[in-house]
Amino acid sequence: MSKLGNLGARLHHGEIGYDFIKNRKIWYGVSILITIMAVLGLAVRGLNMGIEFQGGAVFTTPKHMSTSVAQAETYAHDASGNEVIVQKLGDGSLRIQIAGIETGKSDQIKETLAKDLKVNPEHINADLVGPSWGEQIANKAWQGLAIFMVLVVIYLAIAFEWRMALAALVALIHDLTITTGVYALVGFEVTPGTVIGLLTILGYSLYDTVVVFDSLKEQTKDITRQTRWTYSEVANRSINGTLIRSINTTVVALLPVAGLLFIGGGVLGAGMLNDISLSLFVGLAAGAYSSIFIATPLVADLKEREPQMKALKKRVLAKRAQGAAQGESPEVEPVGSTAGDEPEDIAPAVVGPHNQSLSRGRGRGRPPGKRR
């Protein structure tokens, strides 16, 4: 077994682990700082909305153009007088986007561009988008996002509890804010592909969070009947138990997205790949971070405020202090250990089928009488 596999197994069984819950204030501070930067980016720079949302025209020139991007920007700005975005595509053609122009003016701009670029006007492809169509897309996107959020909260509140639903909602808002803030800071264009990417990362972030919540739910069954672990300690075990899985899935998901962003978008210059891949790349990374460092620690904070969990923590600490006074080892047995059959034992972690010893099941299902 590889070193990474050994590490994952040891984390899974509670033999080693990092105290994420104890250092939660550090993670909260990092997230708040990143979120403030994202909000400032949105407030100062704003989002670079594509023509799908504000209307305009896109002109695509023939292949293998010798004109530079800067020169094409000058030609397009002089012809239209509006804001211009020019991209050089992988086949050498130019994609000239001009926002806020009317349909009647596009023909005149096309003729002027063809003259400046020294090409036949018939070889320049023009696509027009009205502002009303873009407004409909934006409204549908907001409606879809709102419905998604509501359904997520309802499902998690029913499947788990309202504290987990609230923590997951905070994590989703955290991921959305960071991703949109990066878009504002980088200046990438916001297109329908961006919206698709945002909705995709929300599902991925929620999946990673639910995996940890499911483990936490199983491990905290009848937690108040024992005096070995506090709720925060069990929550920390849940994070460590799924840590390697989260890292592996995130890295595997980021690799093809990085290929789209840096090779497809950067080298080949494909505009739509840039739009969707940046949101996926930033969102996947933020989603993995929030599921580990935000969602579960926040659930532990909310649960530790309950009177039952406060009383449990007092009993656990009192028992440990008593054991230390009697010279017993202060070490805490890993959560999910099957050692001992005391009634105060917590339910073992759900990490696979729990195989009971043969002696416990021996004789079950046999008719009464003499046993062999």
Domain span at 63 = 56-129
Boundary (domain end) residue, out of 307, 334, 363: 307
Over residues 153-171, mean pLDDT:
90
Cα separation, 34 vs 41, in Å, equals: 11
Say if residue 103 is in the same domain as residue 214: no
What is the pTM (predicted TM-score) of this model? 0.71
- Residue 164 has what pLDDT? 92
CB of 349 closer than 8 Å to CB of 335: yes
Q: What is the pLDDT of residues 111-122, one digit of tens each?
A: 888 888 888 888
Domain membership of residue 353 (yes or no) is no
For 357, residues 6+ apart whose C-beta sits below 8 A from its C-beta are none
Over residues 300-327, mean pLDDT:
88
Boundary (domain end) residue, out of 268, 285, 307: 307
Boundary (domain end) residue, out of 114, 129, 144: 129
Say if residue 121 is in the same domain as residue 26: no
pLDDT band of residue 253 (cuts 50, 70, 90) is: confident
Say if residue 92 is in the same domain as residue 113: yes
Over residues 87-92, mean pLDDT:
75
Phi, psi of 97 (to 5 degrees): -110, 125
Say if residue 63 is in the same domain as residue 194: no
Q: What is the pLDDT of residues 170-223, one digit of tens each?
A: 999 999 899 889 888 888 778 777 887 888 888 877 888 888 898 888 888 888
* 62: CATH: 3.30.70.3400
Over residues 286-308, mean pLDDT:
91
Cα separation, 311 vs 26, in Å, equals: 26
Say if residue 193 is in the same domain as residue 217: yes
Domain membership of residue 65 (yes or no) is yes
- The full length of the chain comes to 372
Q: What is the pLDDT of residues 10-26, one digit of tens each?
A: 555 555 667 888 888 99
- Residue 334 has what pLDDT? 45
Mean pLDDT of the chain: 78
